[in-house]
Amino acid sequence: MDIETKLNSLGFAKPPAQTRVVVAMSGGVDSSVVAAMLAEEGYDVVGVTLQLYDHGAALAKKGACCAGIDIHDARRVADTMGFPHYVLDYENIFQDAVIDEFADSYLAGATPVPCIRCNERVKFKDMMETARDLGADCMATGHYIQRDMGARGAELHRAADPARDQSYFLFSTTPEQLNYLRFPLGHLKTKDETRALARKYGLEVADKPDSQDICFVPNGDYASVIEKLRPGAAEPGEIVHADGRVLGTHKGVIHYTIGQRRGLGIGGLSDPLYVVKLDVDNKQVIVGPKEMLSTRIIPVREINWLGDEPFTSRDQWELAVKVRSTRPPRDAIVRPISETEAEVELLSPEEGVSPGQACVFYAPEGPRVFGGGWIWRGK
């Protein structure tokens, strides 16, 4: 076989130097290593970083992606490795597509996952269009997930390192997007390997801490962000037992989440109580015993299906599902209602299933991801 027709490491039948790849650079160690690795392999690398919110505020913000210091770090990596780097102002797009929905969902009593919406609506949509405009053959990211070629095209698979796997946050990646995306770190076994590569390439971000917060929510204080975005949102109301007893008052539904036990301010009761429902219309936080949190049937909508057969080609699918990013997949039966809606029956009940969270589908055995959808109301 002629060397010109061999597939390079990104899957193209041409030399790396003739393959342009846009790398989505957050300024963290993961995406920096991806960019450096591809540059060293000889690819035509173009680094792109998104400015997602106010740059002045961002400069003082640490521990979240896409902050001002991170833009500086990404640019420095590009300078070190000798490839061009661009910063795109996506502040308005991010506000409209992610932050506003986050605020509205929270006010409606849901527990949103804005990082998924950011991947879906900004990074894998508008940013991907920019990559195409730049003439790139593909776009690479530092996500820990694998893209493998199956009999019917590109498949999404969990990362080799279960502790780093980010498949929960990437379930809405469409087949078309998957054709264009590359995830060069998905096969690594540990984060230490990534940091070792960063040191190998002489990157100053080698020991930079991982981002922990949602980028626009400092210190995980959701309520203060919601109050700033939606003044007057924190209206007081009653804390009510599921049996109808009024147990106390609260300073706003936005301060509570389904499954919460601590910080309810209703001490002195014999049995522990948990938040089992948020009644936004009546400004009530409903509490009850732990068993009330158990859920078997979960309505799911906005489904993105990544199976080989059409989602509605079967009456039901036996899959494993994950209803929180920190929980392992559980066996379930997924019954399609339409191409984008389903009823998910958990074979063993889960606690604290909350509207606004994702329900991600996995193969019962093996690493393949079959997509997923959004939990839209509790039963």
CATH superfamily ID and name for 234-288 = Adenine nucleotide alpha hydrolases-like domains (2.30.30.280)
In this predicted structure, the answer to whether residue 69 has a pLDDT above a threshold of 90 is: no
pLDDT of the residue at 1: 43
* The domains spanning 3-219 and 293-375 adopt the same CATH topology: no
- Per-residue model confidence as pLDDT tens digits over 164-173: 999 999 999 9
The torsion defined by the Cα of 366, 367, 373 and 379, in degrees rounded to 10, comes to 50
Residues with a catalytic annotation lie at 118, 215
Residue 59's pLDDT is 41
Q: Which helix (H) or strand (E) holds 225?
A: helix 222-229
Domain boundaries defined on the chain: 3-219, 234-288, 293-375
- Residue 240 near residue 246, CB atoms below 8 Å: yes
Question: Which residue type, as a one-letter code, is found at position 283?
Answer: K
- Who has greater pLDDT, 190 or 139? 139
Give mean pLDDT, residues 149-158.
94
Q: For 197-234, what is each residue's pLDDT tens digit?
A: 999 999 999 989 887 678 888 677 888 888 888 887 78
User: Using 50, 70 and 90 to split pLDDT, how confident is the model at 65?
Assistant: low
Mean pLDDT of 51-78: 70
Contact between 156 and 178 (Cβ < 8 Å)? yes
The Cα-based distances of 327 to 260, 320, 353 in angstroms read 16, 12, 11
CATH architecture assigned to 3-219? 3-Layer(aba) Sandwich (3.40)
Mean of pLDDT over the chain: 90
Select from 228, 226, 220, 213 the least CA-distant residue to 67.
Answer: 213
Instruction: Tell me the per-residue pLDDT of 316-340, one tens digit each, with 9 for 90 and over.
Output: 999 999 999 988 999 999 999 999 9
Class of the CATH-defined domain 293-375: mainly beta
Q: Which residues are bridge partners to 344 per DSSP?
A: 298, 334
pLDDT tier at 286, thresholds 50, 70, 90: very high
